[in-house]
């Protein structure tokens, strides 16, 4: 785990406007009619010369964009995003679309925001989609996900990962009747360790004191291996948390909470319960690292140091493997990767090219098919 104060990379280009929004009070699930899922969508972004010049000078500040989908257009805000994945408009830029930037009541099919990731670090263009799909199969709180083909001023920019933004609308959907708490983005050193509270970035919530983070960190620091599982049970939905970790470990996500203390949100609900929400899952479904190899997150480290917690995590790994097999996850992966293969291979701004994508997808499908057996063999030998 990185020590507090050690930054992975400057995250300033990956900002997400957050707190202070008014939740939708219509009783309808936010974005319920937005077609995440099985169909690759077509989005057109139109920016004038002044907006393009502004993005070149300051990519993190929203400019006007006309967002068009299925013949319906709306004025919105857009800025560029990414840390290691950041690219400017001359390459495959990634985008944050904000439909209420200029109008507090602005929505597009019920959504205030959308995230369009460029997937330039993933030759399969599939890791995020498969990760969130597995999270949803096992019942953890995770963003909805799909794909979009994106044009900018008529030029095809390629295939994008379409991700539900983790904001107050997400909280209303994922934590109904318990959605008005504090949401923090972790990673970049922000973790449940002494001195790390200041490195979380608060996204939602009216209490900005971070007192809840400090109190939770103090509780974690005071725990022992014999008391740690009780701490999780009293402050988290322990089985849901451990199931989310099982997904990260089984999918070999080497840039997740369990492996690097990175790419997650921490949510503290009014009920007092904490939750960790996965994010940025574009480094999963590859590699042969040991299941319990490099463990990065402070909570995960303490769990594996506790025999009771480690046993519970082991159970959740077994259950997740069963879900992987019984739900037909491998077949779904086959179908989903086939669906996007042509767009992946012909993406005009991808660095991987036609055969790079093709070969990566062949390897991915074989990896997913073999993975349950590989993990079970490791568990049995260990």
Give me the residues paired with residue 172 across strands: none
Percentage of residues in the chain having pLDDT higher than 90: 83
Query: Are β-strands 264-268 and 274-278 bridged in parallel, bridged antiparallel, or unpaired?
Result: antiparallel
- 84-99 pLDDT, tens digit each: 889 999 999 999 999 9
Judging by beta carbons within 10 Å of its beta carbon (0-12, 13-18, 19+), is residue 23 exposed, middle or buried? middle
pLDDT (mean) for 217-233: 98
The pLDDT > 70 percentage for the chain reads 91
What does the block give as tokens for 110? Answer: 């019920």
pLDDT digits (tens, 9 = 90+) for 159-178: 999 999 999 999 999 999 99
Query: The tokens of 252 are what?
Result: 């070999």
Predicted local confidence at residue 374, as pLDDT: 95
Q: Give me the helix-helix angle, 228-235 and 238-250, nearest 10°.
A: 110
Q: Does residue 11 carry a pLDDT above 70?
A: no
pLDDT, tens only, 12-47: 334 444 433 333 444 445 556 677 877 899 999 999
Q: What is the pLDDT of residue 210?
A: 96
79 has pLDDT over 60? yes
Q: What is the DSSP string of 257-282?
A: HHHHS-SEEEEE-TTS-EEEEE----
- Per the rule left: phi > 0, alpha: psi between -120 and 50, beta: everything else, 280 is left
Q: Please report the pLDDT score of residue 37 as a whole number.
A: 77
- Decide: residue 192, CB within 10 A, 0-12 exposed, 13-18 middle, 19+ buried: buried
pLDDT in tens, 147-161: 999 999 999 999 999
Q: Tell me what the pLDDT averaged over the chain comes to.
A: 91
| pLDDT tens digits, one per residue of 302-317 | 999 999 999 999 999 9
Q: What are phi and psi of 372, to 5 degrees?
A: -55, -40
Q: What is the pLDDT of residues 263-286, one digit of tens each?
A: 999 999 999 999 999 999 999 999
Residue 166: phi, psi to the nearest 5?
Answer: -85, 100
Using the predicted structure, report yes or no on whether residue 3 has a pLDDT greater than 70.
Answer: no
Lowest mean pLDDT among 243-257, 287-301, 324-338: 287-301
Q: How confident is the model at residue 319 (pLDDT cuts 50, 70, 90)?
A: very high
Average pLDDT over residues 338-354: 95
């Amino acid at each position: 785990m990185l020590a507090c104060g050690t930054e992975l990379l400057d995250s300033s280009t990956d900002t997400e406007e957050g707190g202070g929004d008014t939740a939708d009070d219509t009783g309808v699930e936010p974005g319920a009619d937005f077609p995440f899922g099985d169909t690759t969508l077509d989005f057109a972004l139109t920016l004038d010369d002044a907006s393009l010049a502004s993005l070149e000078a300051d990519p993190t500040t929203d400019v006007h964009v006309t967002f068009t989908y299925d013949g319906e257009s709306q004025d919105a805000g857009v800025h560029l995003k990414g840390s290691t994945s950041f690219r400017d408009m001359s390459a495959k830029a990634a985008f944050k679309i904000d439909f209420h930037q200029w109008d507090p009541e602005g929505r597009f099919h019920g959504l205030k925001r959308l995230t369009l990731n460029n997937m330039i670090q993933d030759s399969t263009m599939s890791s995020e989609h498969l990760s969130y799909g597995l999270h949803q199969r096992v019942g953890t709180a995770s963003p909805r996900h799909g794909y979009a083909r994106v044009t900018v001023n008529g030029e095809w920019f390629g295939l994008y990962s379409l991700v539900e933004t983790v904001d107050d609308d997400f909280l209303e959907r994922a934590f109904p009747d318990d959605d008005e708490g504090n949401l923090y983005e972790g990673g970049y050193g922000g973790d449940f360790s002494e001195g790390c509270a200041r490195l979380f970035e608060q996204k939602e919530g009216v209490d900005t004191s971070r007192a809840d983070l400090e109190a939770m960190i103090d509780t974690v620091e005071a725990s022992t291996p014999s008391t740690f599982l009780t701490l999780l049970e009293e402050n988290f939905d322990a089985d849901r948390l451990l199931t989310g970790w099982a997904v990260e470990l089984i999918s070999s996500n080497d840039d997740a909470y369990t492996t690097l203390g990175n790419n997650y949100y921490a949510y503290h609900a009014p009920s007092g319960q904490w939750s960790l929400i996965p994010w940025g899952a574009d480094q999963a479904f590859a590699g042969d690292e040991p299941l319990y190899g490099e463990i990065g997150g402070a909570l995960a480290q303490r769990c594996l140091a506790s025999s009771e917690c480690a046993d519970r995590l082991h159970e959740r790994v077994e259950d997740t493997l069963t879900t992987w097999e019984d739900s037909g996850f491998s077949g779904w992966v086959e179908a989903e990767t086939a669906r996007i293969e042509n767009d992946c291979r012909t993406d005009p701004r991808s660095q991987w090219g036609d055969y790079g994508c093709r070969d990566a997808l062949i390897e991915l499908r074989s990896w997913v098919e073999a993975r349950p057996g590989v993990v079970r063999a490791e568990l049995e030998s260990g």
